[in-house]
Amino acid sequence: MIRIPIDLGAAAYEVLIGAGLLTSIGQEAGRLFPERKACAVVSDSTVAPLHADKVMESLKTQGFQPILIVVPAGEPSKCFGQLEQIVREMIRAGLDRKAFLVALGGGVIGDLAGFAAAIHYRGIPYLQVPTTVLAQVDSSVGGKTGINTAEGKNLIGAFHQPKLVLADVETLGTLPRRAWNEGFAEIIKHAAIQDATLLPLIREVAVGEGNMSELIARNVAIKGRIVAADEFETKGLRALLNFGHTIGHAIESCAGYGELLHGEAIALGMKAALHLSCKHTGLTSAAAGEINDLIAMFHLPTHLPATMTDAAILEKLSRDKKFDQGQIRFVLLDSIGSAHLSDVVTRRDLQEAIDHLR
Ligand SMILES: NC(=O)c1ccc[n+]([C@@H]2O[C@H](COP(=O)([O-])OP(=O)(O)OC[C@H]3O[C@@H](n4cnc5c(N)ncnc54)[C@H](O)[C@@H]3O)[C@@H](O)[C@H]2O)c1
Ligand SMILES: [Zn+2]
């Protein structure tokens, strides 16, 4: 098992990474919460039948009294309705401020259940047990929780750091191939902005070799370092994690439901951002090629869906909150592992970057 500390002062916690960790959650909770007994395990309708038994058993063995709350799998569950269901079910089951919560699932469950923990009796502690690649390397670390509304994604939420993240790489074994591949977009992003030495390990994992626990751990360390330096996203550092996400988000929101997964849209956004980095900050085409090759190794898309128009993407981009008085704050690479925020990218550049994805 690998332990990565997330250095957040009073809110510091550890991320544990390894194979078969689900069965040790009771022990870990016992260590963290010697005074607490009641808890809720929140999961979704796909993950619960696959993995909840182990978690429930492990908690019961250590003398906890867990209830299991299951929401429908998928992004639509990140909503006020499901949030209300969760906290009301906890209240009805007698879980008060002395209870704790376990979020077992992908980023949807982490965000939704984490937010429920943030507001239940004005805040109870919680553990993140991420079960997707994306959740293990990205969403479970950093304490951002929240839900979506019709007005936009993640506009309602709270910073609420977990007391522990337990990433069991064995749970990733039940992921469909497309969901597995999707998560590597964020891994490639981490390497691109912070750590060129990660590339060989990513290549090894792509061909079925390489140590997945080590790869997850190194990514958690990268995300953790950035979060620790900029916990509330006020210093611009956390914004580097938006590499590939400006154009990527616009593409994602233009796509029809289920047409492009988040990581697939981000892969396209990274290809566009690499192109603009070559143009503006002297990233070599060889370096851009290395990242693009990795994207292709995980069968992530390299071209826009033919039906998606330039006008639609540009319209979404103009609504991006990173647009400020006609200028867009854009993450560019100088070299692999070195990123910075820039305002040199123009609307014409954005058009050129979209052309590059045709
Ligand atoms: N809080 C943050 O900092 C942060 C960062 C990035 C993304 N996010 C959020 O994360 C969400 C996306 O996360 P996600 O991609 O994990 O989505 P997800 O939670 O919807 O999981 C994807 C799908 O995989 C299924 N699944 C999960 N684990 C599985 C397993 N082990 N085996 C089989 N199936 C499994 C789920 O049921 C779901 O259908 C978005 O809502 C996004 O906004 C949050
Ligand atoms: Zn992302």
> Which residue, of 143, 174, 205, is where some domain finishes?
174
178, 130 contact by CB (below 8 A): no
pLDDT of residue 231: 87
Same domain, 109 and 216: no
CA distance 306 to 297: 22
Closest CA to 228 of 57, 13, 68: 13
Best mutation site among 128, 132, 136 for ligand 1 pocket (most ligand atoms within 8 Å of CB): 132
Q: Which long-range contacts (CB under 8 A, 24 or more apart) does 292-299 make?
A: 294/184, 294/188, 294/191, 294/199, 294/202, 294/203, 294/206, 295/185, 295/188, 295/267, 295/270, 295/271, 297/203, 297/206, 297/207, 298/181, 298/184, 298/185, 298/188, 298/206, 298/267, 299/181
The residue range of the domain holding 348 is 177-356
> How confident is the model over 294-330, as pLDDT tens digits?
999 999 999 999 999 999 999 999 887 666 666 788 9
The DSSP secondary structure of 50-92, one letter per residue, reads: IIIHHHHHHHHHTT-EEEEEEE-SSGGGSSHHHHHHHHHHHHH
For atom 44 of ligand 1, the residue with the nearest CA is: 139
> Which residue, of 119, 141, 174, is where some domain finishes?
174
Same domain, 189 and 54: no
Looking at all shown ligands, the one closest to residue 139's CA atom is 1
> Which residue, of 174, 192, 219, is where some domain finishes?
174
Task: Look up residue 98 and give its amino acid.
Answer: K
> How confident is the model over 159-179, as pLDDT tens digits?
999 999 999 999 999 999 999
Looking at all shown ligands, the one closest to residue 246's CA atom is 2
pLDDT of residue 324: 65
pLDDT of residue 315: 92
What is the Å distance from ligand 2's center to 249 Cα?
9
Same domain, 190 and 163: no
Percent of residues, the chain, with pLDDT higher than 90 = 92
* Count: domains in the chain: 2
Q: Is the pLDDT of residue 41 over 90?
A: yes
Looking at all shown ligands, the one closest to residue 178's CA atom is 1
Percent of residues, the chain, with pLDDT higher than 70 = 98
Q: Evaluate: CB of 79 within 6 angstroms of ligand 1.
A: no
Same domain, 301 and 208: yes
Task: Specify the DSSP element, H or E, that contains 158.
Answer: strand 152-159
Same domain, 106 and 247: no
Best mutation site among 43, 44, 71, 108 for ligand 1 pocket (most ligand atoms within 8 Å of CB): 108
Q: Is the pLDDT of residue 257 over 80?
A: no
> How confident is the model over 200-230, as pLDDT tens digits?
999 999 999 999 999 999 999 999 999 999 9
Same domain, 145 and 11: yes
Same domain, 227 and 192: yes
Closest CA to 131 of 92, 182, 173: 173
CATH of the domain at 228: 1.20.1090.10
Same domain, 244 and 95: no
Same domain, 109 and 159: yes
pLDDT of residue 84: 98
For atom 10 of ligand 1, the residue with the nearest CA is: 107
Same domain, 130 and 233: no
CATH of the domain at 134: 3.40.50.1970
State the pLDDT confidence band at 12, using cuts at 50, 70 and 90.
very high
Same domain, 239 and 301: yes
Mean pLDDT over 15-24 rounds to: 98
What is the Å distance from ligand 2's center to 35 Cα?
37
State the pLDDT confidence band at 287, using cuts at 50, 70 and 90.
very high
By CB atoms closer than 10 A (0-12, 13-18, 19+), residue 210 is: middle
Same domain, 327 and 259: yes
